Amino acid sequence: MTNDVIIRALAPQEALDRVRDLSAVLIDCVEGGASVSFMLPLTQERADAFWQGVAEGVIAGDRILLVAEDPSDGRIVGTVQVVLKQPENQPHRADISKMLVHRRARKRGVGAALMCGAEEAARTAGKTVLVLDTVTGGDAERLYERVGWSRVGVIPNYALWPQGGLCDTTVFHKQIAPD
């Protein structure tokens, strides 16, 4: 794990209080070309509404929201979610969602630290199978392979880039030992 950031889960009220900070990371990633469910231009209002919904999921206990904070000023430079709520026949599974790192914090191990934190949070929540998807050929795909995730396959033309145009998506999974 990098010494440059602190990885921690936000409490429900903190998730609500930090919506603006989380939005700043999301907007930066989308403006940087990340295909993470949003099209350009991503307004502050749309980003805030997304994070408000995530915070409501944290309050309901449906997800865990982890952040990477700069220890010098507490600014959020990255985030990832562990989606706990699954169908009743999959109580052992969680989805990893919206792993985002602000462009100014990339290439410092923040993504790997967030993934380590997400796996530990999932394990603590009793999950043993994790699933995620990411743009094929991107930096995140290489990160997931480096931290031990297994590639399932590629879905062609799965999503759009934020500026338009189709992109493929690679699906990954990881089996983790219970706590």
Condensed to tens digits (0 to 9), the pLDDT of residues 121-168 reads: 999 999 999 999 999 999 999 999 999 999 999 999 999 999 999 999
pTM for the model:
0.96
The answer for residues whose C-beta is within 8 angstroms of residue 90's C-beta and 6 or more apart is: 129
Q: Is residue 56 helix, strand or coil?
A: helix
CATH of the domain spanning 6-127: 3.40.630.30
Q: Tokens for 124?
A: 């603590």
Q: How far is CA 54 from CA 3, 17, 23, 64, 155, in A?
A: 27, 12, 11, 9, 26
Do residues 5 and 105 lie in contact, with contact meaning Cβ atoms separated by under 8 Å?
Answer: yes
Domains of the chain by residue range = 6-127
Half-sphere exposure for 160 (CA within 13 Å, toward CB)? 8
Q: What is the pLDDT of residues 80-109, one digit of tens each?
A: 999 999 999 999 999 999 999 999 999 999
76 burial level (CB within 10 Å; 0-12, 13-18, 19+): buried
The pair of three-digit structure tokens given for residue 152, joined into one six-digit string:
């399932």
